[in-house]
């Protein structure tokens, strides 16, 4: 999983112009983020048609606010520069819930 350096929404969307991406908003101090983190390599392998990008919410606090990311961990999907879905709330997320979210994107 690639780490996203500090950026803004305009520059981020320019980087996401070609292909399918999942942004994983997280923070080191977040217990719910630590809960899902061990499952992320399996999820990445299962959905290899997406490029996964880890977004440190604290480093990119302005980006998170601009995107309406109020809770972490959160997932936002892009295809060819356009947002195609989001799994954003303050709840702990299980591997199954994340897989269900991504599977729903693949029906688009």
Query: What domains lie within the chain, and their CATH numbers?
Result: 2-91 (3.40.30.10)
Catalytic residue among 22, 33, 88, 102, which? 33
Catalytic residue among 4, 16, 23, 30, which? 30
**Whole-number pLDDT of residue 106:** 64
Give the number of other CB atoms < 10 A from CB of residue 61.
13
What are the residues facing 55 on neighbouring strands? 25
Is 33 noted as a catalytic residue in this protein? yes
CA atoms within 13 A on the CB side of 99: 11
* pLDDT tens-digit map of 86-107: 998 878 899 999 999 999 996 6
Q: How far apart (Å, rounded) are the C-alpha atoms in residues 33 and 92? A: 8
Q: How far apart (Å, rounded) are the C-alpha atoms in residues 34 and 47? A: 20
The structure's pTM equals: 0.93
């Amino acid at each position: 999983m690639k780490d996203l350096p500090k950026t803004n929404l305009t520059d981020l969307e320019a980087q996401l112009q070609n292909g399918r991406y999942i942004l994983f908003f997280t923070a080191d101090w977040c217990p719910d983020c630590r809960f899902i983190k061990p499952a992320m390599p399996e999820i990445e392998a299962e959905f290899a048609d997406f490029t996964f990008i880890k977004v440190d919410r604290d480093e990119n606090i302005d980006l998170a606010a601009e995107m309406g990311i109020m809770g972490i961990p959160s997932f936002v999907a892009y295809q060819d520069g356009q947002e195609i879905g989001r799994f954003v709330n303050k709840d702990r997320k299980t591997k199954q819930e994340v897989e269900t979210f991504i599977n729903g994107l693949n029906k688009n």
